[in-house]
Amino acid sequence: MTETAPSSRPALWWARPASGAWTCAPAPTEVRAFHASLPEYAPTPLTELPSLADDLGVGRVFVKDESSRLGLPAFKALGASWAVHRALAERAAHGAETGPVTLVAATDGNHGRAVARSARLLGRRAHVFVPQGVHPTAAAAIAAENAEVTRIAGTYDEAVRRAAEAASAPGAILIQDTAWPGYERIPGWIVEGYSTLCAEIDEQLAAAGAGMPDLVAVPVGVGSLAQAVVTHYRAHPSGPATALLSVEPRTADCVLQSLVLGEPVSVTTGETTMAGLNCGTPSGIAWPLLRDGLDAAIAVDDADSARAAGDLAALGVSSGPCGAAPLAGVRAALSGDGADERRTALGLGPASTVVLLSTEGSAANPHGAPG
């Protein structure tokens, strides 16, 4: 895979009309039942924010508020819990149940904490690799789940490599939320786990009399959550297609750059308060779905996401920098030079319904806490 440095990167916006016509296979239905069986499970709120709809010039805006999911301040436990469940069940089915198991992961914060929590609840060990730029409080929260934490002086991509090496030890299982050739099944289960979030949105929109959304904006790191969102909306086409917008930090826009080039590329990442999105390489299994199923992609600055987090806080929604990125991205798309063309590319009109995925609360990432 080629690597692009920030100074040579083109375009902060990419759009391709008519991706909504493309379809794919749905996530398995048993995921929702598995989550519902967990003691801490409850659907997270889908909060309507009419003042944001006025600001954005659309009909209705809803925010999926993942500030408290399965006892943690981000959505990630949906993927980790299902993947750990599947991986341990498979190990038991192969008669490998003897001896201690260590669940290994690399993380920008939230995924590692979710893996560590699953391990603790199941009486297993966890070893989590944390790259530079993750706030000490976020690393301490992982250690507080009884996980061994190894901080490395490199990027997220390097932390993933270190975790993969560590997982070659006997009894170790890599629970990573990104895929590469030869390591695809477990990241695939993580993506399946995220399907519960989309299923809840369908029910909540229906209860609010809103039907299917016209636009869903997704914060993107390696693109696994976006893969789940594409899978959901492209597997069940009903009526006009929902437009799907990915939002990344300017300093870690690997999916946007890959879409612009038409092939997956790694980018050299820099610093961003959007720690969970600070990833340089798209997940190998996400890429084909993102390429074929996303309608548009945009990159935003830390200041944009900080402002969005502050505005959401003022409206009663706790949102960390990654969680607020979708609002920042939709705002950036619908304002400034070229806003009319971008609005048209997203198919938005004054009656449209927009869903923003606020994937973490402000407690998940102290870096960017408003105020």
Ligand X SMILES: Cc1ncc(COP(=O)(O)O)c(C=O)c1O
Which helix or strand (DSSP H or E) is residue 79 part of?
helix 77-93
C-beta closer to ligand X: residue 15 or 106: 106
Closest by CA position to 344, among listed 13, 46, 97: 13
Q: Of all residues in the chain, what percent are helix, strand and coil, respectively (each to 5)?
A: 45, 15, 40
Asked if 278 touches ligand X (CB under 6 A), the answer is no
Shortest gap between Cβ of 299 and ligand X (angstroms)?
Answer: 14
- What angle do the packed helices 77-93 and 185-193 form, to 10 degrees? 130
Q: Given the complex with ligand X, which of 269 and 359 has the nearer CB atom? A: 359
Distance CA 133, CA 147 (A): 19
Both tokens assigned to 208: 């609010």
Closer residue to ligand X in complex, CB, 53/279: 279
Among 101, 243, 322, 345, binds ligand X (CB under 6 A): 322
Burial 178-194 (b: 16+ CB within 10 A, else e): bbbeebeebbbbbbbbb
**277 part of the interface to ligand X, by CB under 6 A:** yes
From 185, 107, 105, 127, select the one nearest 360 (Cα to Cα). 107
Q: Does 253 bind ligand X (CB under 6 A)?
A: no
Cβ-closest position to ligand X: 276
Residues 44-103 that bind ligand X (CB under 6 A): 74, 76
Beta strands (DSSP E) in the chain are 3-4, 13-15, 46-48, 60-65, 102-106, 125-130, 148-151, 172-174, 215-219, 243-249, 266-267, 296-300, 353-358
* Ramachandran category for residue 99: left, alpha or beta (phi over 0 → left; psi -120 to 50 → alpha): left
| Cβ–Cβ under 8 Å, residues 279 and 222 | yes
**CA torsion, points 16, 18, 19, 21, in degrees to nearest 10?**
-170
The reply to whether 64 belongs to the active site is no
Catalytic choice (108, 214, 253, 295): 108
> Is the distance from CB of 298 to CB of 256 less than 8 angstroms?
yes
Per CB under 6 A, the segment of 49-57, 207-215, 217-225, 347-355 that binds ligand X is 217-225
Closest C-alpha to 357, from 332, 316, 306, 322: 322
Question: Could you say which of 223, 280, 329, 370 contacts ligand X (CB under 6 A)?
Answer: 223
> Could you say whether residue 248 binds ligand X (CB under 6 A)?
no
Minimum CB separation of residue 279 from ligand X in Å reads 6
The CA distance from 222 to 244, in Å, is 16
Binding mask 142-181 for ligand X (x = CB under 6 A): -----------------------------------x----
- The single residue among 216, 225, 252, 333 that binds ligand X, judged by CB under 6 A, is 225
Q: Find the part of the chain contacting ligand X (CB under 6 A) among 50-58, 85-93, 213-221, 337-345.
A: 213-221
Please report, as residue ranges, which positions from 323 to 342 form the binding site for ligand X (by CB under 6 A): 323
Minimum CB separation of residue 273 from ligand X in Å reads 12
- Interface pattern 103-142 for ligand X (x via CB under 6 A): -----x-xx-------------------------------
Q: Which residue in 64, 76, 214, 311 is the catalytic one? A: 76
Report the nearest approach of ligand X to the CB of residue 248 (Å): 9
353 near ligand X (CB under 6 A): no
How big is the site for ligand X, counted in residues (CB under 6 A)?
A: 21
Contact map string, positions 187 to 206, toward ligand X, x by CB under 6 A: --------------------
304 is catalytic: no
What's the token pair of residue 140? Answer: 């301490």
Which range binds ligand X by CB under 6 A, 19-27, 97-105, 143-151, 273-281?
Answer: 273-281
Instruction: List, by residue number, the catalytic residues.
Output: 76, 108
Which residues are at the interface with ligand X (CB under 6 A)? 74, 76, 108, 110-111, 177, 219-226, 276-277, 279, 322-323, 359-360
